[in-house]
Structure 1
Amino acid sequence: MMFLAGMFAISGAFVSCDDSDDTDGVNKLEVTPSTDISFKADGNEDVVLTVVTDADKWSVEKTDWITVKQNGNKLTVNAEANTTESERPGRITISAGNAEPVKINVLQEALEVGEIVLSVTPSDPIAFEAKGNEAVVLTVTTNAAEWTYTCPEEWMTATKEGDKLTVNAKDNTGDAHVGQIVITAEQKTVKISVTQKAASTEPDPTDKIAGSLTTADALSHTFPYKEPQAVKKTLTFELEKAAEAETRVKINFDEAYVAEFNYLNGTKHVAFPKASVAMSNNNIVTIAAGATSATIEVTLSPSAELNTKDTYMVPLQAVAESDNVTVKTDAARVNFIVKQQGSKTVRNFLYFEVNDTNPLNALEYVLADGQLFFDAVVLFSGNIHWDTQSGKPYMHYNDNVTALLKDKDLYIQPLRDRGIKVLMGVLGDHDGSGPANLTEKGAEVFAEHIAEMCVEYGLDGICMDDEYSEYYKAPTNEYFTGSSTSLKQATYFLERANYYMKKDVPWETMTAVFYWGVYGSGMPAINGRQPAEFVDMVNANYGGSASPVAGGDKSMCSFMSVECNLGGGWVSEDSARQAKEAGYGWCMWFALDPVLGREPWSKLSAAAKGLYDQELMPRTGYYKKTGAGRYDPTRYEE
Structure 2
Amino acid sequence: MLIMKYLNNIKLSLVTAVFVCTGTVFTGCEDDLTISGSTDKLETVDGVYGYVRSAAGARELTPITLFGDKAGTGHLFFELTKAAEQDVTVTFKIDKDALEAYNEANNTSYEMYPVDKLSLANDGKITVKAGEKKSASMELNINAGGTIGTTYAVAVSATADGGATVSTNNQTYIYLVKPQPAYPVRGTARDVKTLCFVEVNNENILNCGEYTMAKDGTPFFDVVSIFAANINVDSKTGRAHIFCNDQVSFLLKNADQIIRPLQAKGIKVNMTILGNHDESGMSSLSKEAAEDFAKELKAYADIYGLDGFDFDDEYSNYSENPSPGFEERSSANYCRLIYECRKIMPDKLLGIYEYLLYDAPNGSVEGKSAGELVDYMCYGTYQRYAKGREENFTGLPKSKYGPYSLKINNEYNGGWSGFNQETIQNLKDAGYGLQVFYNPEPRIYSYDHYFTAVSKVLYNDEVEWTGKYYNRTDFTSIQGTKLAYESYLGEWAATSSNSLYIYIDEDNNPRWWDWSGSQKFNVRIEEKEAGKSYYIYGWGTYPEITEKYPLVAEYDAVKGYISIYPQVIHEGDAADPETWEVHWGTYAGSGANCYWRAYPQYANYAIEGSINLDGSFGLVGVGNRWGLDPYHEVDGTLVVPHMDVKYHITENYTLVKN
Which amino acid is the alignment partner of residue 242 of structure 2? M
Q: Tell me the equivalent position of 2:431.
A: 583
Distance 1:76 1:350 in 2: 26
Cα distance change, pair 440–576 in 1 and its aligned pair in 2 (3 A): same
Query: Matched residue of 2:218: which SS?
Result: coil
1:526 aligns with 2:370: no
Report the residue type matching 1:435 in the other structure.
Answer: M
User: Counterpart of 2:205?
Assistant: 359
CA distance in 2, matches of 1:613, 1:581: 14
Equivalent runs, 1:25-104 vs 2, <5 Å: 39=34, 60-61=48-49, 68-69=51-52, 93-97=81-85
Of 335, 345, 352 in structure 1, the residue corresponding to residue 191 of structure 2 is 345
Matching residue within 371, 390, 400 for 2:237: 390
Seq. identity, %:
25
Per the normalisation by structure 1, the TM-score is 0.52
CA distance in 1, matches of 2:236, 2:311: 25
Map Cα deviations across residues 557-576 of structure 1 (whole Å, 9 max, x no partner). 11310111222774444332
User: Structure 1 residue 268: deviation in Å?
Assistant: 3.0
Structure 1 residue 491 and structure 2 residue 330: aligned? no
Q: Which residue identity lines up with residue 515 of structure 1 in the other structure?
A: E
AA paired with 1:268?
Answer: Q
C-alpha spacing 1:516/1:470, structure 2 compared with 1 (3 Å): farther
Q: So what's the TM-score if we normalise by structure 2?
A: 0.50
Change (3 A) 1:593 1:494: same
Separation (CA, whole Å) in 1 of partners of 2:30 and 2:424:
49
Matched residues in 1 for 2:319 and 2:84: separation?
Answer: 34
Cα-to-partner distance string for 1:481-507 (whole Å, 9 max, x where unaligned): 2xx2111111111111111112xxxxx
Distance (Å, rounded) in 2 between the aligned partners of 1:575 and 1:37:
44
Structure number with bigger Rg: 2
Tell me the residue number matched to 2:479.
637
> Given the alignment, which residue of 220, 238, 244 partners 1:373?
220
Paired residue secondary structure (2:101) = strand
Q: Distance in 1 between matches of 2:450 and 2:180?
A: 33
1:404 maps onto 2:257 in alignment: no
Whether the aligned pair in 2 keeps the contact of 1:374 and 1:420 (CA below 8 Å) is: yes
What residue number does 2:353 align with? Answer: 514
- The structure whose RCO (Cα within 8 Å, separation 6+) is larger is 2
1:620 maps to which of 463, 467, 472: 467
The within-5 A match list for 1:144-223 is: 163=105, 165=107, 192=110, 194-196=112-114
Once the two structures are TM-superposed, the CA of residue 409 in structure 1 deviates from its matched residue by: 0.6
CA deviation map 1:137-189 (0-9, x unaligned): 4357xxxxxxxxxxxxxxxxxxx6xx465xxxxxxxxxxxxxxx65xxxxxxx
* Match of residue 440, structure 1, among 287, 293, 296: 287
Deviations 1:507-540 (A, max 9, x none): x310000114564677101111122221011111
Q: Offset at 1:420? A: 1.0
The alignment status of 1:547 with 2:390, answered yes or no, reads yes
- Do 1:11 and 1:61's aligned partners in 2 also have CA atoms closer than 8 Å? no
Which residue is equivalent to 1:275?
none
CA gap of 1:441–1:126, structure 2 versus 1, over 3 A, is closer
Shift of 1:429: 0.5
1:537 aligns with 2:376: yes
**Contact 2:352 2:377 survives alignment (8 Å):** yes
Cα distance per residue 1:579-613 (max 9 Å; x no partner): 2222111111111021134x565542210111111
- In the alignment, the residues of structure 1 paired with residue 267 and residue 212 of structure 2 have an alpha-carbon distance, to the nearest angstrom, of 12
For 1:242, the equivalent position in structure 2 comes to none
CA RMSD between the two structures: 4.0
Deviations along 1:224-264, one digit per CA (max 9) or x if unpaired, are xxxxxxxxxxxxxxxxxxxxxxxxxxxxxxx9947469977
- How many residues align? The count is 374
Aligned to 1:560: 404
Where does residue 107 of structure 1 map in the other structure?
Answer: none
Change (3 A) 1:416 1:77: closer
SS state of the match for residue 298, structure 2? helix
**Alpha-carbon distance in structure 1 between the residues aligned to 2:196 and 2:32:** 33
Cα distance in 2, alignment partners of residues 601 and 262 from structure 1:
38
Distance 1:198 1:457 in 2: 24
State whether residues 61 and 93 of structure 1, in contact with CA within 8 Å, keep that contact through their aligned partners in structure 2: yes
User: Taking structure 1 as reference, are residues 269 and 11 closer, same or farther at Cα in structure 2, changes over 3 Å only?
Assistant: same
Aligned position for 2:155: none
| Aligned pairs for 1:105-504 within 5 A | 134=97, 136-139=99-102, 163=105, 165=107, 192=110, 194-196=112-114, 257=145, 259=147, 266-270=178-182, 310-311=183-184, 339=185, 341-342=187-188, 344-369=190-215, 370-472=217-319, 475-477=322-324, 479-481=325-327, 484-502=328-346
Q: CA deviation at 1:471?
A: 1.3
The Cα offsets for residues 90-129 of structure 1, whole Å up to 9 and x where unpaired, read as x961331169xxxxxxxxxxxxxxxxxxxxxxxx99765x
Superposed CA offset, 1:65-111 (max 9, x none): xxx3279xx7988679xxxxxxxxxx961331169xxxxxxxxxxxx
Residues 139, 164 of structure 1: 8 Å contact kept: yes
Q: What SS is found at the alignment partner of 1:491?
A: helix
For 1:198 and 1:491, the matched residues in 2 are separated by 39
**AA in 1 matched with 2:404:** M
Q: Note the C-alpha offset of 1:431.
A: 1.7
Q: Which amino acid aligns with 2:34?
A: F
Q: What SS does structure 2 have at the residue aligned with 1:382? A: strand
User: Is 2:186–2:218's contact at 8 Å kept on the other side of the alignment?
Assistant: no
Distance 1:367 1:570, change over 3 A: farther
2-structure distance, mates of 1:409, 1:363? 15
Change (3 A) 1:437 1:37: same
- C-alpha distance in structure 2 between counterparts of 1:35 and 1:520, whole Å: 27
The Cα of 1:457 is off from its aligned counterpart by: 0.8
1:173 paired residue number: none
Question: Structure 1: where are the runs of 5+ without partners?
Answer: 1-9, 18-33, 48-58, 63-67, 81-90, 100-123, 129-133, 141-159, 166-180, 183-191, 200-254, 271-309, 312-338, 503-507, 626-630
Query: What is the rounded CA distance, in whole Å, between the counterparts of 1:262 and 1:345 in structure 2?
Result: 38
What CA distance in whole angstroms lies between the structure 2 residues aligned with 1:494 and 1:41?
36
Q: Distance in 2 between matches of 1:258 and 1:575?
A: 49
Q: Is the 8 A contact 2:379 2:405 kept in 1?
A: yes
Tell me the CA shift for residue 401 of structure 1. 0.3
Residues 125 and 347 (structure 1 numbering): CA distance in 2 closer, same or farther, change over 3 Å?
A: farther
> Deviation digits for residues 449-488 of structure 1, max 9, x if unmatched?
11111001110111011100011397410x112xx21111
Shift in Å, 1:350: 0.3
Deviation at 1:551, TM superposition (A): 2.6
